[in-house]
């Protein structure tokens, strides 16, 4: 991965969006990173906005004092809530324009759903997206795949791909009843989006090559069939990690802490540890969906744990 030393945030012109329901109008700055080269493949990160989660929900088994100490060790104020970025990855290779995840769409949280305007500001028309690759079926990754009327695809010319175990979970009619309470609304939403996308959603397994140099890497636990996306060209590799690594301090420095957002907490911990080890050992770049924008960097070892070194 080669990072342009002059890399900077591209701040677009502020654009007002109309009020939706009870949401107040707000000024939006759509954002996109500069290009990162992975061999011959071009990677950019586009912001869909932010999604906010309570600390008690995210870290239900962690003492507040331990969380506060971790943040203070890093020179940061302990969080009163987690305001998570949503970093969508745009991969350009040959004549393909590939999106990894699609953001939240208009109905999840008022601070999210900015992807389409961010793409347009970069000069990328939704019609020109050739592939949509999902890491998993949670709202902030999937619901933006439908247009703002929620009756058709936002990226009408794209082939869509989801991990086969992930697709099976969200399309199982039993899932909305058997899922834990916090997941039930998300399950109904995922089923609705996948039903609307219909036949255009392909399924693929671990290791499947989705485009030249682009393949799925199974990273389960956060959700049953959660996939990362491995981008490889020449000697360079980068992993688009979805929600395998979500918090800039917790996921790297305390990867063994159970997360309330992981459906299988133990499997997610095992996935984090093996992914961190591989990213650090092989010097593979990382894009983290919820890391501070644009969420691009490397994993380095620190004692028995790791740190995230932003690019």
Give me the residues that bind Zn ion (CB under 5 A), please: 140, 243
Backbone dihedral region for residue 138 (phi beyond 0: left; psi -120 to 50: alpha; all else: beta): beta
Cβ 185 to Zn ion, closest distance in Å?
15
> Reduced to 3 DSSP states, what percent helix, strand and coil does the chain have, rounded to the nearest 5?
25, 30, 40
When the beta carbons of 130 and 267 are compared against Zn ion, the nearer one is 267
When the beta carbons of 41 and 88 are compared against Zn ion, the nearer one is 88
Burial class (CB in 10 A: 0-12, 13-18, 19+), 7: middle
When the beta carbons of 137 and 153 are compared against Zn ion, the nearer one is 137
When the beta carbons of 233 and 293 are compared against Zn ion, the nearer one is 293
Contact in structure between 136 and 106 (CB atoms under 8 Å): no
Contact in structure between 129 and 118 (CB atoms under 8 Å): no
CB-based contacts of 53: which residues, under 8 Å, 6+ apart?
81, 82, 84, 261
Cβ 35 to Zn ion, closest distance in Å?
24
Cβ 101 to Zn ion, closest distance in Å?
8
In the numeric block, which tokens belong to residue 211?
Answer: 């485009």
Cβ 289 to Zn ion, closest distance in Å?
6
Cβ 65 to Zn ion, closest distance in Å?
27
When the beta carbons of 136 and 160 are compared against Zn ion, the nearer one is 136
């Amino acid at each position: 991965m080669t990072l342009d030393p002059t890399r900077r945030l591209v701040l677009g012109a502020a654009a007002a969006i109309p009020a939706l329901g009870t949401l107040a109008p707000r000024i939006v700055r759509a954002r996109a990173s500069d290009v990162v080269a992975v061999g011959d493949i071009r990677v950019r990160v586009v912001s869909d906005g932010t999604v906010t989660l309570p600390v008690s929900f995210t870290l239900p088994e962690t003492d507040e004092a331990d969380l506060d100490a971790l943040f203070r060790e890093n020179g940061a104020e302990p969080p009163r809530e987690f305001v998570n970025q949503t970093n969508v990855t745009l991969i350009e290779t040959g004549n393909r324009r590939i999106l990894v995840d699609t953001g939240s769409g208009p109905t999840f949280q008022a601070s999210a759903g900015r992807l389409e305007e961010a793409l347009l500001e970069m000069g990328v028309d939704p019609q020109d997206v050739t592939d949509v690759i999902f890491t998993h079926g949670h709202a902030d990754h999937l619901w933006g795949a439908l247009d703002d009327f929620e009756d058709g695809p936002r990226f009408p010319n794209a082939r869509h791909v989801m991990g086969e175990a992930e697709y099976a979970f969200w399309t199982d009619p039993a899932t909305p009843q058997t899922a834990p309470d916090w997941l039930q609304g998300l399950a109904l939403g995922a089923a609705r989006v996948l039903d609307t996308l219909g036949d255009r959603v392909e399924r693929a397994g671990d290791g499947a090559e989705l485009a030249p140099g682009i393949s799925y890497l199974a990273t389960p636990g956060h959700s049953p069939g959660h996939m990362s996306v491995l981008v490889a060209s020449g000697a360079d590799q980068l992993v688009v990690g979805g929600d395998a690594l979500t918090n800039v301090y917790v996921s790297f420095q305390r990867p063994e802490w159970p997360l309330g957002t992981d459906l299988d907490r133990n499997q997610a911990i095992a996935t984090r540890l093996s992914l961190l080890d591989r990213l650090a050992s092989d010097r593979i770049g990382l894009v983290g969906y919820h890391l501070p924008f644009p969420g691009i960097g490397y994993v380095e070892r620190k004692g028995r744990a790791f740190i995230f070194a932003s690019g």
